[in-house]
Amino acid sequence: MRPVWSGSLSLGLVTVPVRLYSAVEDHTVHFRQFQRGTEDRIRYRRVNERTGEEVGYEDIVKGYELDSGEYVVVEPEELDEIAPGRSKSLDIESFVELDAIDPMFFDKTYWLAPAKDEFERPYALLLEAMDSSGKAGIAKFVMRGREYLALVRSGDGVMVLNTLHFAADLRDPAEQLPDLPGKAKARGKELDMAVNLIDAMSDDWRPEEYSDTYTDRVRELIKAKKKGDTITPATEPGEPTKVVDLFEALSKSVESGKAKKKSGAKKKPTAKKDLSSLSKAELDKLARERDIKGRSKMTRASLEKALKAS
């Protein structure tokens, strides 16, 4: 796998050369475009709108439109020269609790690995330190002419880097959505039943149980069309719940959720895991379930020791 970025991870006076690798693979089915009724491909070209002639990449510059309608032309090299962090440095500026970051800020996921074997020791030290503290580092770096805000955290034997949205990138729902449900008030019994529904449907996070069923259906469609067959259309979404039927719908959903959860519990293995094989996040969860005091300030080793004693 080729790295998408190379640079140095810096924590105080400790600097480790690292490489960034994409941790996510695209499984989407990609199509080409054709003119209907022909086998003629549709292609996009970079065309001068005045002359109609195609323009090569090397002859393309960027332009920023002013209020007057005029453009300020900027060369690609000029953007490279002013890019912050031209030294390719990934500097951790502070550490935060992972739970303190709203999921809205998360963008893409990468792996951060040592650039060479000789840098494995300082890399492993920082990885273990972050794992023990349970905290993640906030950093900024430049990639492909753009500055990114990033979160560096411990993963399963490797550092994980998540690019984050800047606060200015996030829209305010109060400004963007004129019909927020501010006037509607939840009724007592309905609210209690809705909370019961959430409890009935609560479960452990097991990502391997979820898959991209839409892409599977697209592949089935392609196979069927190749054979000259047809495919059964998906079921239509349910009708909106009427306000007068809301409590009854919630009640039935709670019973259904409890039955499903009970059925699923019978299938789950009951064998206990070795605490040493669990991540700090898993140890934190067990500590919450057993109501271990002071768990938020414990290191991974302290959590494991407290859990063994409980």
d(CA 289, CA 278): 15
Residue 254 has pLDDT above 80, yes or no: no
Structure tokens of 120?
């494995």
Q: What is the mean pLDDT of residues 12-17?
A: 88
DSSP state of 240: P
List C-alpha distances in Å: 163 to 4, 25, 114, 144, 146.
13, 16, 19, 14, 12
Give the tens place of pLDDT for each residue, 38-86. Answer: 999 999 999 999 999 999 999 999 999 999 999 999 988 887 777 665 5
Residue 153 has pLDDT above 50, yes or no: yes
Give the tens place of pLDDT for each residue, 166-178. Answer: 999 999 888 888 7
Residue 32 has pLDDT above 50, yes or no: yes
User: Cα-atom radius of gyration of the chain, to the nearest Å?
Assistant: 27
pLDDT value of position 2: 92
Q: What is the mean pLDDT of residues 242-271?
A: 63
Structure tokens of 277?
């094989």
More confident residue, 309 or 150: 150
DSSP state of 3: -
Give the tens place of pLDDT for each residue, 199-239. Answer: 877 878 787 887 888 888 888 888 888 888 887 776 666 66
* pLDDT tier, 268 (very low <50, low <70, confident <90, very high otherwise): very low
Q: How many residues does the chain have?
A: 310
pLDDT value of position 54: 95
Residue 26 has pLDDT above 80, yes or no: yes
CB 108 within 8 A of CB 162: yes
Q: What is the mean pLDDT of residues 4-21?
A: 91
Among 132, 129, 123, smallest CA distance to 158 is for: 123
d(CA 13, CA 35): 59
CB 200 within 8 A of CB 257: yes
Q: What is the mean pLDDT of residues 30-36?
A: 93
The contacts of residue 16 (CB under 8 Å, 6+ apart) are 8, 9, 10, 114, 119, 122, 123, 126
pLDDT value of position 270: 37
d(CA 57, CA 191): 58
Hey, which residues does 6 pair with through a beta bridge? 19
CB 254 within 8 A of CB 237: no
Q: Decide yes or no: CATH 3.40.720.10 for domain 5-25+82-169.
A: no
Q: Is 76 helix (H, G, I), strand (E, B) or coil?
A: helix
pLDDT value of position 114: 94
Tell me where in the chain the CATH 2.40.290.10 domain(s) lie.
Answer: 5-25+82-169
pLDDT value of position 17: 92
Give the tens place of pLDDT for each residue, 78-91. Answer: 877 776 655 588 98
d(CA 112, CA 122): 13
Q: Mean pLDDT check: name the lowest of 107-116, 137-146, 265-274.
A: 265-274
Q: Is 158 helix (H, G, I), strand (E, B) or coil?
A: coil
The contacts of residue 17 (CB under 8 Å, 6+ apart) are 6, 7, 8, 9, 114, 115, 116, 119
pLDDT value of position 228: 87
Phi-psi region of 137 (alpha: psi -120 to 50; beta: other; left: phi over 0): beta
* pLDDT tier, 269 (very low <50, low <70, confident <90, very high otherwise): very low
More confident residue, 185 or 98: 98
Hey, which residues does 135 pair with through a beta bridge? 97
d(CA 26, CA 44): 23
d(CA 130, CA 126): 6
Residue 115 has pLDDT above 80, yes or no: yes
Q: What is the mean pLDDT of residues 126-145?
A: 90
For the four alpha carbons of 222, 224, 225 and 230, in that order, the dihedral sign comes to negative
CA triple 288-293-296, angle to 5 deg: 65
